[in-house]
Amino acid sequence: MEKYQKVYRSDYEQWYRDNRNYREKVKNAPGRLKYHLMPETGWLNDPNGLCQKDGTYHIYYQYTPFEPTGEIKLWGHYATKDFIHYEDRGPFLFPDHDYDAHGVYSGSAFVENGTIHYFYTGNIKLFDRDDYDYITAGRGSNTLHFTSRDGDAAGAKELIFTNRDYPQDVSCHVRDPKVFKRNGAYYMVLGARDRESRGLVLLYRSDDLKNWKYYSRITTKEPFGYMWECPDLFELDGQLCMLSCPQGVGPQGIDYRNVHQCTVMPLSCDFERNSCEIEEEKIRMVDRGFDFYAPQTFCDEKGRRILIGWMGIPDAEYGNPTVEDGWQHALTLPRELHMKDGRLIQTPIEELNMLRSEGYSYESKEELNEAGEEQLVFEAEICFHSSNDNSCDDTVIELRKGTELIYSRRDGLLTLSLKEGGYGRTERSVKVEALRNLRIYSDTTSLEIFVNDGEEVFTTRVYGKRGGFRIDGGCSAKVRIYRMNSFIIDREPGRPEAEKQKGLCAIGEALIDFIPERKGQRLKDVTAFKRAAGGAPANVAGAVSRLGLPARLLTKTGNDAFGDYLIECFTAAGIDTSFIKRDSIKETPLAFVSLAEDGNRDFQFYRKNSADLFYSPEEVTSEVLDGCGILHFGSVDLVESPMKEAHRKLIRMAADKEILISFDPNLRLSLWKDDVKLKETVLEFMPQADIVKISEEELEFITGKTEIKEALPELLQGKTRCVLYTRGRDGAAAYTEQWSVSRPGLRVEARDTTGAGDSFTGAFLSRLLSYGITDITEISIGQMEDFLDFANAYAARTTMAEGGLTAMASKQAFEEWMRRK
């Protein structure tokens, strides 16, 4: 995306469609956080527009999806009801207007009478002269307003102020409007820099949220930095206070050591008399870590004042290794604010306790020398007590290898020290008279440390990868450690329509396989069977859906107990069953299987009056292929029947929509009156598929050849561009008109080969879907090798457990198994 060009939603959507690989790369990057909000790709900075409406929390943020250094700013959008499950609703606000063409900068939301009012800064950089300093000239900082009722659909942008409307002595830097209400009037604070480079906040007033009048300014008596960004003014437990981020305040001992600061200032204001004084001796830093800036607060529907900050800092002298992986920065955990004895208290909101999984505690009365949590992702609560009071003398807490929290009671100092993985961050300290307790949130690459019930907080990114929590020193303490679950983030809602993950549509038989309880008997001798949901197309759909992609099945079952059971199994496997029809007259088909010692099988079918064969073309409605990227079918349901016609119709529809078609002959000779008819049917349908999967045993029947190479001309007919040739445990090969590749199978102890071929096909098709492959000739040789290995491994894994569908591993379990191999 070019610098300083307007970005329209359609530009973003096009970019999104073209950059699937970028998203995959970021998704799999090692430093991604488990329970913090990050940009899906690219850059994130300030939280914006925080609010709650009708139960839903809206968390917008400064966002550059295109690259990780943050050139042009959009607003991203997460929505949540519980701070655990989130919807990534994609970009909300674009720099697409003459007033904001070089970035929709930070702003806030204010909910009034069922409407969310947004106020933000439209950033403009002029390029018509060379001598612009962009401080006193060459920059536009427009204040804009728009509304939304639901947090998603935004009304038109309206201009409130341009630079001409701000006081004369103020530079071009005016931004980050935040609105609040007091005594029936609305007020807006705006961060500003005056022409003498003093930081200040401008205060405006309005009676209707539309017409705003300059009211007063808030600043310190002596200059305190050159620019105050992101002001936020609110009352907290009876105390009026202002958060803001003064830039350019130099270090003072252990204070103000970051390049820019974030402070809390108690205020005494008389809004009727137009005066607002800062209680200067009470100004404090909000956070003591390396990465905390631009926080914003809002009052939720429960009346809590919640703060979320940017876990990063602008113009920082240190770097983040995540840039190489295509992303940078995150938001802090949400914190509830209180004011106690004139001090800001921050505590993680209670919803975060729901992230806790296993926990364990230990107590050390004498001395703590315990090695604890080996992981990076945990929460730790530590309560200190010594013989004479509830605090600690000296301690060193190792949070992960090379990251320490050091307390010395004599010096009254608590220090965070990063000896490993700091990437330029080294040490920060805070004065602590008595260390009573700590609450530590450690994520893969971040730390938030709440000291003494939230009187002080250290927020920082850290990249040390070696876990190892341990406490040394002369304090006794009660320690409780929890492993933490991840946020659950649904990114679908923010995807451009065309980009929704495409799924599989499988059509054909669904039946119950009855498998002998004991192996190695002939079918005639088996006395007890176990049931297993199956049917080749159902198994293929099951594999796709177990591997985490959408899959739907088109079939018909009897309106009987067996049909109920099938639907239950399919639903449990995640298959979309909404297109499965039921029939009160016909029956759910059954198959009885005998299992040899080596896992091979023999079938006897009960499908004389089989419901699936009565799925009619009329039941193939126009929406059955919605959201589908691949259609898959076999030969079992191609016997003369309404179902055969349903296949014909569906295949035609798929071809019209340019949906990939996959065919697995899956020959079941016993189901056909004569072999000739079966062969004829296979030869009729096969050329209509883009991909044909054929097994060693089927080759000769279909082509009359025993060598795949010789059979190819007959297989690569009509539309068919790719033949997958499976050789059971010996692996599989792929043939196209241009090339072929062959991959060995994975040797495992097979228990039951039911569904092995289907799981191969499902796994292969799932790769095509997740890579968005719509034209089979576009697959590279390397990709094909990867896909075959994946499918071979998944099939091997399926043979290790009994049954077809039930033996298929979930994506997570499969990946876990592969890692252990």
Active site residues: 46
List Cβ neighbours of 592 (8 Å cut-off, separation of 6 or more): 513, 514, 523, 526, 529, 603, 604, 605, 606
Q: Write out the H or E segment, with its range, that includes residue 732.
A: strand 732-735
Tell me how far apart the alpha carbons of residues 318 and 336 are, in angstroms, rounded to a whole number. 29
Q: Which is nearer to ligand FRU, 37 or 776 (CB)?
A: 37
**Binding of ligand FRU by 512 (CB under 6 A):** no
Q: Which is nearer to ligand FRU, 315 or 597 (CB)?
A: 315
Tell me how far apart the alpha carbons of residues 508 and 723 are, in angstroms, rounded to a whole number. 21
**Binding of ligand FRU by 106 (CB under 6 A):** yes
**Binding of ligand FRU by 142 (CB under 6 A):** no
Tell me how far apart the alpha carbons of residues 315 and 245 are, in angstroms, rounded to a whole number. 13
Q: Which is nearer to ligand FRU, 295 or 762 (CB)?
A: 295
Q: Which is nearer to ligand FRU, 460 or 766 (CB)?
A: 460
Q: Which tokens is 273 given? A: 């008399």
Q: How far is the CB of 255 from ligand FRU (least distance, A)?
A: 20
Count the site residues for ligand FRU by CB under 6 A: 14
Q: Which is nearer to ligand FRU, 62 or 391 (CB)?
A: 62
Q: How far is the CB of 19 from ligand FRU (least distance, A)?
A: 22
**Binding of ligand FRU by 294 (CB under 6 A):** yes
Q: How far is the CB of 108 from ligand FRU (least distance, A)?
A: 11
Tell me the DSSP string of 443-488.
Answer: ETTEEEEEEGGGTEEEEEE--------EEEES-EEEEEEEEEPPPE
Sheet architecture: strand order including 394-400:
370-371, 470-473, 394-400, 403-408, 413-418, 427-431
Tell me how far apart the alpha carbons of residues 247 and 316 are, in angstroms, rounded to a whole number. 12
**Binding of ligand FRU by 175 (CB under 6 A):** yes
Q: How far is the CB of 148 from ligand FRU (least distance, A)?
A: 20
Query: CA 222 → CA 198, 199, 249, 280, distances in Å?
Result: 9, 10, 12, 10
State phi, psi for 790 to the nearest 5 degrees: -60, -50
Q: How far is the CB of 97 from ligand FRU (least distance, A)?
A: 16
> Among 248, 314, 359, 642, which residue interacts with ligand FRU (rule: CB under 6 A)?
314
Q: Which tokens is 53 given? A: 């409406």
Q: How far is the CB of 369 from ligand FRU (least distance, A)?
A: 42
Distance of CA 93 to the CA centre of its chain: 20
Q: Which is nearer to ligand FRU, 62 or 403 (CB)?
A: 62
Q: How far is the CB of 327 from ligand FRU (least distance, A)?
A: 16
Q: Which is nearer to ligand FRU, 5 or 275 (CB)?
A: 5
Please tell me what DSSP assigns to residue 110. Answer: E
Tell me how far apart the alpha carbons of residues 611 and 603 are, in angstroms, rounded to a whole number. 19
**Binding of ligand FRU by 100 (CB under 6 A):** no
**Binding of ligand FRU by 176 (CB under 6 A):** yes
298 forms bridges with which residues in the sheet? 306
Question: Residue 84 in contact with residue 487, Cβ under 8 Å?
Answer: yes
Site track 45-84 with ligand FRU (rule: CB under 6 A), x = hit? xx---------------x----------x-----------
Question: Residue 359 in contact with residue 483, Cβ under 8 Å?
Answer: yes
Q: How far is the CB of 176 from ligand FRU (least distance, A)?
A: 5
Q: How far is the CB of 295 from ligand FRU (least distance, A)?
A: 10
Tell me how far apart the alpha carbons of residues 196 and 225 are, in angstroms, rounded to a whole number. 11
**Binding of ligand FRU by 328 (CB under 6 A):** no
**Binding of ligand FRU by 7 (CB under 6 A):** no
Q: Which tokens is 10 given? A: 């359609």
Q: Which is nearer to ligand FRU, 309 or 542 (CB)?
A: 309
> Among 203, 230, 447, 591, which residue interacts with ligand FRU (rule: CB under 6 A)?
230
Question: Residue 248 in contact with residue 228, Cβ under 8 Å?
Answer: no
Q: Which is nearer to ligand FRU, 105 or 787 (CB)?
A: 105
**Binding of ligand FRU by 105 (CB under 6 A):** yes
Q: Which tokens is 452 given? A: 């003494």
Tell me how far apart the alpha carbons of residues 419 and 435 are, in angstroms, rounded to a whole number. 23
- Terminal Cα-to-Cα distance of the chain (whole angstroms): 42
Compute, in degrees rounded to 10, the torsion defined by CA atoms 550, 555, 556, 562.
-60
Q: Report which residue type is found at 383.
A: C
Tell me how far apart the alpha carbons of residues 346 and 619 are, in angstroms, rounded to a whole number. 59
**Binding of ligand FRU by 448 (CB under 6 A):** no
Which residues, 110 to 129, sit near ligand FRU by CB under 6 A?
A: 121
Question: Residue numbers of the site for ligand FRU (CB under 6 A)?
Answer: 45-46, 62, 73, 105-106, 121, 175-176, 229-230, 293-294, 314
